[in-house]
């Protein structure tokens, strides 16, 4: 069993290309394929989850909408938002889906605390929140015990497109970002912090190989 995790910085990548690459990676991987963490940003796009309700989509204008296979409702991705796609063999790491979601949430909480931002979970509202406003969204797909899709963290972006939708299906939900609380934030540093904390947390949860 391998607990290796490869980190891949993809830069700014079109959403559909990234999604299809994740699908292909997951379909082709074997029990020996090392896990990977893809880190990127996307040009402006709305994405609708597999069970998404069209009522949450407003006048989206010239921003494309992609129907995808993750869980959750509609959300927005744009430059200045970091998206983390952990491609993880949950079975091999003895991680259940609920524990994995909690790990992603806790890594985000711990990351934001490094910048003196207090994020929290809200009952019945997936994602992470600061002062009741959404700062991170979460949507996953698990296939043959392996996960793709992941978590989006609003860092230093134009938040106005969120006004065209009901983000994640939560009425009257406002969104926020790291820059609101730390105006001089180094966005790359935020991504590096999240990635480092995720690797550490994942390794702490992974059983050691028996020799």
Read off the pLDDT band of 126 (50, 70, 90). Answer: confident
- The verdict on residue 210 lying in a domain is no
Could you count the other beta carbons within 10 Å of the beta carbon of residue 186?
Answer: 13
Give the chain's mean pLDDT. 90
CATH code, 59: 3.30.930.10
- The verdict on residue 142 lying in a domain is yes
pTM of the model: 0.92
Q: DSSP string covering 132-169, please?
A: TEEEEEEEEEEETTEEEEEEEEE-SS--GGGGGB-GGG
Q: Which region holds residue 124: left if phi is over 0, alpha if psi is between -120 and 50, else beta?
A: left
- The verdict on residue 14 lying in a domain is yes
- The verdict on residue 191 lying in a domain is yes
Strands lying side by side in the sheet with 65-67? 65-67, 45-48, 74-77
- Which sequence positions are flagged as catalytic? 168
Structural domain that includes position 55: 5-205
- The verdict on residue 211 lying in a domain is no
Domain count, the chain: 1
Q: C-alpha distances in angstroms, 78 versus 25, 31, 131?
A: 24, 34, 22
pLDDT digits (tens, 9 = 90+) for 161-205: 998 877 666 667 799 999 999 999 999 999 999 999 999 999 887
Could you count the other beta carbons within 10 Å of the beta carbon of residue 211?
Answer: 3
- The verdict on residue 199 lying in a domain is yes
- The verdict on residue 141 lying in a domain is yes
Q: Indicate the DSSP class of residue 63.
A: S
Strands lying side by side in the sheet with 35-41? 5-12, 35-41, 81-89, 146-154, 133-143, 125-130, 120-122
How far is it, in rounded angstroms, from Cα 88 to Cα 203? 12
Task: Give the pLDDT confidence score for residue 211 in this predicted structure.
Answer: 30
């Amino acid at each position: 069993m391998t607990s290796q995790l490869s980190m891949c910085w993809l830069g700014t990548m079109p959403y559909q290309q990234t999604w299809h690459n994740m699908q292909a990676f997951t379909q082709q991987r074997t029990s020996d394929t090392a896990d990977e963490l893809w880190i990127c940003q996307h040009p402006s796009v709305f994405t609708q989850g597999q069970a998404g309700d069209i009522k949450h989509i407003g006048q989206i204008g010239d921003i494309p909408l992609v129907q995808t296979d993750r869980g959750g409702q509609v959300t927005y991705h744009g430059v200045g938002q970091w998206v983390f796609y952990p491609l993880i063999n949950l079975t091999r790491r003895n991680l259940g889906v609920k524990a994995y979601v909690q790990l992603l949430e806790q890594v985000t909480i711990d990351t934001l605390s490094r910048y003196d931002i207090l994020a929290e979970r809200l009952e019945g509202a997936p994602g992470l929140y600061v002062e009741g406003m959404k700062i991170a969204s979460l949507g996953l797909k698990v296939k043959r015990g392996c996960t793709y899709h992941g978590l989006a963290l609003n860092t230093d972006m134009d938040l106005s497109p969120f006004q065209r939708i009901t983000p994640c299906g939560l009425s009257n939900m406002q969104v926020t970002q790291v820059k609101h609380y730390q105006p001089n934030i180094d966005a790359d540093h935020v991504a590096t912090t999240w990635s480092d904390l995720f690797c550490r947390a994942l390794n702490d949860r992974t059983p050691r190989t028996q020799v």
